[in-house]
Structure formats: structure tokens, C-alpha cells
Amino acid sequence: MARTLSERDQEILRKMAPEICDPLCPGSGHEFFSILPPVSNHFSVSDEDFLARIRRLSPGELEYLAGLVLDGSESVSCVRPEHIVLFAEQVAETLSPELGERIIRIYASEGSCQ
């Protein structure tokens, strides 16, 4: 689902990818509509790098981002499969295993990136 990123969303995106100097997605020329897909596809250079970026988030920020995934505001269909697993594992470890499992189920049900 396309959305306009709130100020909080933009702060989290900048925290995860401080090298952002342009809010436009290089692939589309449009502003980013989500947080996780650009971090996964445009800024992370490895699985370890993606995990390090997730670990920059406070528990409250991680909970907020997980909540966006759960309510469908944050698209995860374009996140690399290995990165969604790392995100879900971090959510499970930091917040709750059930929440991590729900994120994996949402990812599996969304289908591939369009």
C-alpha cells in the first residue's frame, strides 16, 4: 500500500539509512512509500549490514515499525526474503516470538513485489 511517510517514519528511515540525502527512490524517481523496502534494496550491502541497521532502532521504534507491518501500512512484499527473516527474528527477540511469526506470515501472504 502506497503511503506518505510521516515525520516519525522519515526519522526511522534516516536512522536506518543515514546516508540518505535524497528522499526519492532511485528506481522510480518517486518518494519512498515504506521504510523496510528501501533499506533492504537500496542501502543494505549485505545481510549483516541490514541486521545492523535494524539493531539501530530502539524497542519503541521497532514496535512502531512492526505495528505498521501488522496493520498493512508498511509494505514488506519488496523486502528481500532473507531480510524479512532477519527483521522478524529481531522483532521476536526484542518484542515477542508471536509478533515475529505474524510478520513472516504477512510476508508470505503478500506475494511478490509488483
- In tens, the pLDDT along 75-103 reads 898 899 999 999 999 999 999 999 999 99
Domains identified in the chain, total number? 1
13 belongs to a structural domain: yes
100 belongs to a structural domain: yes
Helix (H, G, I), strand (E, B) or coil at 23: coil
Asked if residue 25 has pLDDT above 50, the reply is no
67 belongs to a structural domain: yes
Q: Are 75 and 110 in contact (CB under 8 A)?
A: yes
Rounded to 5 degrees, φ, ψ at 31 are -65, 155
Q: Which pTM value belongs to this model?
A: 0.87
58 belongs to a structural domain: yes
Domain span including residue 19: 7-110
- Of 36, 38, 35, 41, nearest to 6 (Cα)? 35
Over residues 31-45, the pLDDT tens digits come to 667 899 999 998 999
27 belongs to a structural domain: yes
What pLDDT does residue 22 have?
A: 54
1 belongs to a structural domain: no
Asked if residue 108 has pLDDT above 80, the reply is yes
97 belongs to a structural domain: yes
Selected residue with higher pLDDT from 34 and 26:
34
What pLDDT does residue 23 have?
A: 53
Q: What is the CA radius of gyration of the chain?
A: 13
37 belongs to a structural domain: yes
What pLDDT does residue 45 have?
A: 95
Asked if residue 71 has pLDDT above 50, the reply is yes
- Of 42, 30, 33, 23, nearest to 83 (Cα)? 42
